[in-house]
Amino acid sequence: MPKSLPISIVIPVYNEEENIAYLYDELKKVLELHFHDFEVIFSNDGSKDQTFKKIKALHLQDSRVKGLTFSRNFGHQAALYAGLSKATGEVVVSMDGDMQHPPAFIPKLYESYKEGFDIVNTRRIDADETGLIKRLTSQWYYKLINYLSDVPIEPAAADFRLMSLQAVKSLNEMPERHRFTRGLVGWMGYKQTILDYKAQKRHAGSTKYTFIKMLSFGLDGIVSFSVKPLRIAFYTGFIVSIGALIYALFAIIKHINGATVAGWTSILVSVLFLGGVTLLCLGVIGEYIARIFNEVRRRPMFFISEEIGLNEKQAN
């Protein structure tokens, strides 16, 4: 009987032409040493450069390299999901395509799996290479998200993790379009652990996460795991109304006593303040409605325009 495939590596890539070959070499060194077989699935997120060509060339050279490509850029989380849904190994490791997630760490993840964990998460220990701004914004963001969210999310968590095929299947069963994988994985249960790895420098190229992508990813993390912002909007409205009521009483008493309140400033301030609070609350509600809208349309999360080395088509 042929032994089953022990490990799949899933790598979402967007404009990473300079990293593909190098990453493959490094992966191959590690994987051949520790596993009798493996597959590396590159999930090309509609790259505009030669990334997919590079993946095809690697496949011709080594059929253990497989790939799929999107019809356009659908985002890192969609590419991750597409790759995961194609994986067939007993365990599946997801990692970035820029060498920031060190291939040499994969055997450590596998050791934890052998110790009995279904999901082995990782936490980045910041090397000095990580920019101060990125470190601080990420720290504050995770503080905020953990305050707001109902699912604890580890700061400095990365989408570098090992999952058993069973856990991957569960993850893929979750139907939402706005995917914040870190949160979804936390929510899933299973036996989980977390290992620390030292962040590496990007091998080549620059970050593919633009500020807008980052912001949208951040909002997904908060809005898909918590309704607290709605509650905060409600409480703010409530407190402001109580304040307004007290102020009204104060103004009436003053009026009765004959000293009419000289209004300008207080009216202006309260109108502006209330206007701001109202708009903010509408914005919060709008975020949720937009998400409901996106979910009920049930559009596919991505379109795959070409696959290489992946024979069975699976529904997304």
Residues 212-271 that bind Mg ion (CB under 5 A): none
198 or 254: CB nearest ligand UDP = 198
Per partner kind, with CB cut-offs from 5 to 8 A, the member of ligand UDP, Mg ion, none near residue 17 is: none
Q: Which two tokens stand for residue 298?
A: 């049930």
CB of 221 closer than 8 Å to CB of 147: no
Rule CB under 5 A: is residue 121 a binding residue for Mg ion? no
CB of 84 closer than 8 Å to CB of 10: yes
Per partner kind, with CB cut-offs from 5 to 8 A, the member of ligand UDP, Mg ion, none near residue 149 is: none
> Could you tell me how many residues of this chain bind Mg ion (CB under 5 A)?
3
Distance in Å, CB of 96 to Mg ion, minimum: 5
Neighbouring CB atoms inside 10 A of 274's CB total 15
Distance in Å, CB of 79 to Mg ion, minimum: 13
Per partner kind, with CB cut-offs from 5 to 8 A, the member of ligand UDP, Mg ion, none near residue 89 is: none
Question: Side chain identity at 138, as an amino acid letter?
Answer: S
22 or 209: CB nearest ligand UDP = 209
| Near Mg ion by CB under 5 A: residue from 51, 100, 170, 181 | 100
Question: Side chain identity at 240, as an amino acid letter?
Answer: V
* Distances from the Cα of 296 to the Cα of 85, 175, 192, 292, 312, angstroms: 22, 11, 32, 6, 28
60 or 104: CB nearest Mg ion = 104
Q: How many angstroms from the chain centroid is the CA of residue 68? A: 20
Q: Which two tokens stand for residue 299?
A: 């559009």
Indicate the SS3 state at residue 154.
coil
Which residue stretch of 14-22, 28-36, 95-103, 257-265 sits at the interface with Mg ion (rule: CB under 5 A)?
95-103
Could you identify the residue written with the tokens 């905020």?
A: 144
CA count, 13 A, side-chain hemisphere, 49: 12
The residue ranges that bind ligand UDP (CB under 6 A) are 12-14, 16, 45, 73, 75-76, 79, 96-98, 100, 207-209
98 or 220: CB nearest ligand UDP = 98
190 secondary structure, DSSP code: S
Sequence-distant (6+) residues with CB within 8 A of 295 are 176, 177, 178
Distance in Å, CB of 206 to Mg ion, minimum: 9
254 or 299: CB nearest ligand UDP = 299
17 or 96: CB nearest Mg ion = 96
Per partner kind, with CB cut-offs from 5 to 8 A, the member of ligand UDP, Mg ion, none near residue 220 is: none
199 or 310: CB nearest ligand UDP = 199
Query: Distance between CA 196 and CA 160 in Å, rounded?
Result: 11
Indicate the SS3 state at residue 215.
helix
| Near Mg ion by CB under 5 A: residue from 16, 17, 45, 98 | 98
CB of 13 closer than 8 Å to CB of 79: yes
171 or 233: CB nearest ligand UDP = 171
Distance in Å, CB of 294 to Mg ion, minimum: 26
Cα dihedral 181, 185, 304, 85 in deg (nearest 10): 170
Residues that bind Mg ion (CB under 5 A): 96, 98, 100
